[in-house]
Amino acid sequence: MAHPVMTVLEARIAPEQWAAFEQAYRGGQLPPQMLQAFLVRDAADRTIWRAVSIWRSREALDEYRRSVETPAGILFFRSVGAEPTLSVFEVIDHQMTPAS
């Protein structure tokens, strides 16, 4: 069974761009290859933002990348003048608190 994959896009975003960045991110739609997406900001250095995405598998991520010229996540960062770095991780295990 293929492991899910997590991608992390990270960049510094100027404070005057935060509202525009959040609005652009919220307006996006997840591709079918993606399971979840999170927009997070560093608690210590609030200019560092990350877009964390969970993909069904590495194959699903690769399929998405082939289907677009530039991935949407990169475009979100570029829309506010930031060039993100990308990290890709295999998700080995995932746990959640059971619903009450």
For the chain, 100 residues long, give each residue's pLDDT as a single digit of tens: 689 999 999 999 999 999 999 988 887 789 999 999 999 999 999 999 999 999 999 999 999 999 999 999 999 999 999 999 999 999 998 888 887 6
**24 lies in a domain?**
yes
Q: How far apart are CA 76 and CA 31, in angstroms?
A: 15
Show the tokens assigned to 39: 């927009």
Residue 100: the pLDDT is: 64
Q: How many domains does the chain have?
A: 1
Query: Among candidates 31, 39, 19, 38, which has minimal Cα distance to 71?
Result: 31
**66 lies in a domain?**
yes
Q: How far apart are CA 12 and CA 14, in angstroms?
A: 7
Range of the domain at 49: 5-90
Residue 25: the pLDDT is: 86
Residue 26: the pLDDT is: 86
Q: How far apart are CA 4 and CA 32, in angstroms?
A: 14
**100 lies in a domain?**
no
Q: What is the pTM of this model?
A: 0.91
Instruction: Give the CATH number, domain containing residue 11.
Output: 3.30.70.100
Q: How far apart are CA 23 and CA 57, in angstroms?
A: 28
Residue 95: the pLDDT is: 86
Residue 87: the pLDDT is: 97
Residue 99: the pLDDT is: 77
Q: What is the 3-state secondary structure (H, E, C) of 36-64?
A: EEEEEECCCCCCEEEEEEEECCHHHHHHH
